[in-house]
A and B are shown apart, each in its own frame.
Chain A
């Protein structure tokens, strides 16, 4: 659609391809991630405040709803401080790499049946792969800062992400075995209808396997939620930026817009993993109770509804992440590794085998 428009405009397929590619890839950023991040930063402060019986930001706008916008304006104005002993090329490039990695994941996330950046056959696998760029970016930031806290923070972060990738992959693998697809779009399409068709409730159809799958799916969901929480460095797994030990971890030396890029990447990551969990286990963009568009016979309403459902599911899991952040204490480094290697990975393996047997029935 966009491509055809540009072909008419430029009369050249190459330029049209590039232009539509750039525009389509910027669409989720400006329509979704930036507004979401603005909202989420404020929401985090408000949620934390109310959980601790405080009020949070109250001054700017009604109940402080303009606070993040003011913060962003402040961040843009700030002087870009680069400490003299940093490795400048790497220091400047690291935030870009981190953000590129976390943003690239959004290419394969189906926001609605009409909008998915790239309908690749390997959707979920691709998302796991490109988040490797985030790891490299964090390592780069920690090294280039030339600061022991930054380096320690990035080392911890990388060790953590690499360890927790394994249980995530195992759960994804077990789901791929059940659904026989790796495309998040197809996966969402399969969970259409009502909420009992979601994979958390054993997947579509009514058979013996569906009911046998329910306990395994619940275990799988809990494992993937814990491990994705660790992958985005959120509490209780936020040891890479443990304020009491490491100042601010790998972004200690960053200020101004570069810091804002790390911040944006963190919030984008939070939504990305929540969206993945929603797409895998909670029906993706499918409505749990049917569509208003079907009821009224308005065809164009359905994609919009789907987008709203998808956003709501994702935002709910983001809210749970915030909730956990202000509820649980932080784990120690050795406890963190023990959780992954001694508990999550063996359980995920057993779960994988059990699901394999059930799907064979």
Chain B
């Protein structure tokens, strides 16, 4: 076990444990804040995989953007903490079957796939390659995604401005 493995297990444990609390916690604010650690752990795993740019974007988009807006929305919604959040169990049999199938297929994929093993040399910075790819090979998709985001933005603005 070297330092790399140790860091990996640290981040993996952080992600899984906080993810567990996100789902099971009854207080929606607590769930939101546990989500922060889940996102952080995932970003750490990205870094360990050598995907530096993706890790930073994960932090900016999810922690700095989505999570904050989510918490904001929750806090501004009136009396949300008093709402009984259902964390009980219903439909046990169908759920068990579905989860069993999912777990089985995941395990099968895990066992049967031939894993690509990379030497543990220091990973190269990915930003430049990613940028070149986005602007050359996938330029159309990149532009389309931009337009979709713009549409969402305009839609949100027009909904917010609608006169009564």
**Are A135 and B60 neighbours in the complex by a CB distance under 8 Å?**
no
Which B residues touch A18, using CB under 8 A? 3, 6
Q: Taking CB as reference atom, which chain A residue is nearest B27?
A: A87
Q: Taking CB as reference atom, which chain B residue is nearest A165?
A: B64
Which B residues touch A151, using CB under 8 A? 75
Residue tally, chain A, CB below 8 Å to B: 28
B14 at the interface (CB under 8 A from A): no
Given contacts A151-B75, A158-B68, A158-B72, contact A17 B53 (CB under 8 A): no
The one of B33, B63, B71, B127 that contacts A182, using a Cβ cutoff of 8 Å: B127
Q: Taking CB as reference atom, which chain B residue is nearest A14?
A: B3
Which B residues touch A182, using CB under 8 A? 127
Query: Which of B3, B30, B53 has the most chain A CB within a 10 Å cutoff?
Result: B3
**Are B127 and A90 neighbours in the complex by a CB distance under 8 Å?**
no
**Are B33 and A90 neighbours in the complex by a CB distance under 8 Å?**
yes
A162 at the interface (CB under 8 A from B): yes
Summarize B's interface: helix, strand, loop or mixed: helix
B1 at the interface (CB under 8 A from A): yes
B64 to chain A minimum Cβ distance, whole angstroms, is 3
Which A residues touch B67, using CB under 8 A? 136
Residues 122-141 of chain B, each 1 if its beta carbon lies under 8 Å from chain A, else 0 = 00010100000000000000
Which B residues touch A90, using CB under 8 A? 29-30, 33
Residues 47-76 of chain B, each 1 if its beta carbon lies under 8 Å from chain A, else 0 = 000001100110110011101100110011
B36 at the interface (CB under 8 A from A): yes
A43 at the interface (CB under 8 A from B): no
**Are A122 and B63 neighbours in the complex by a CB distance under 8 Å?**
no
Q: Taking CB as reference atom, which chain B residue is nearest A17?
A: B3
B117 at the interface (CB under 8 A from A): no
> Which B residues are within 8 Å of any A CB, using their own CB?
1-3, 6, 29-30, 33, 36, 52-53, 56-57, 59-60, 63-65, 67-68, 71-72, 75-76, 125, 127
Known A121-B127, A129-B57; 18 more pairs at CB < 8 Å: A14-B1, A14-B6, A18-B3, A18-B6, A90-B33, A121-B52, A122-B56, A129-B59, A129-B63, A132-B64, A132-B68, A133-B36, A133-B63, A136-B33, A136-B63, A136-B67, A139-B71, A140-B33
What are 22 pairs between A and B in contact, CB < 8 Å?
A14-B3, A14-B6, A18-B3, A18-B6, A122-B53, A122-B127, A125-B53, A132-B59, A132-B64, A132-B68, A135-B68, A136-B33, A136-B36, A136-B67, A136-B68, A136-B71, A139-B68, A143-B29, A143-B75, A155-B75, A162-B64, A182-B127
> Which A residues are within 8 Å of any B CB, using their own CB?
13-14, 17-18, 87, 90, 120-122, 125-126, 128-133, 135-136, 139-140, 143, 151, 155, 158, 162, 165, 182
| For the complex of A and B, 5 pairs with smallest distance between CB atoms | A132-B64, A121-B125, A129-B59, A17-B3, A132-B63
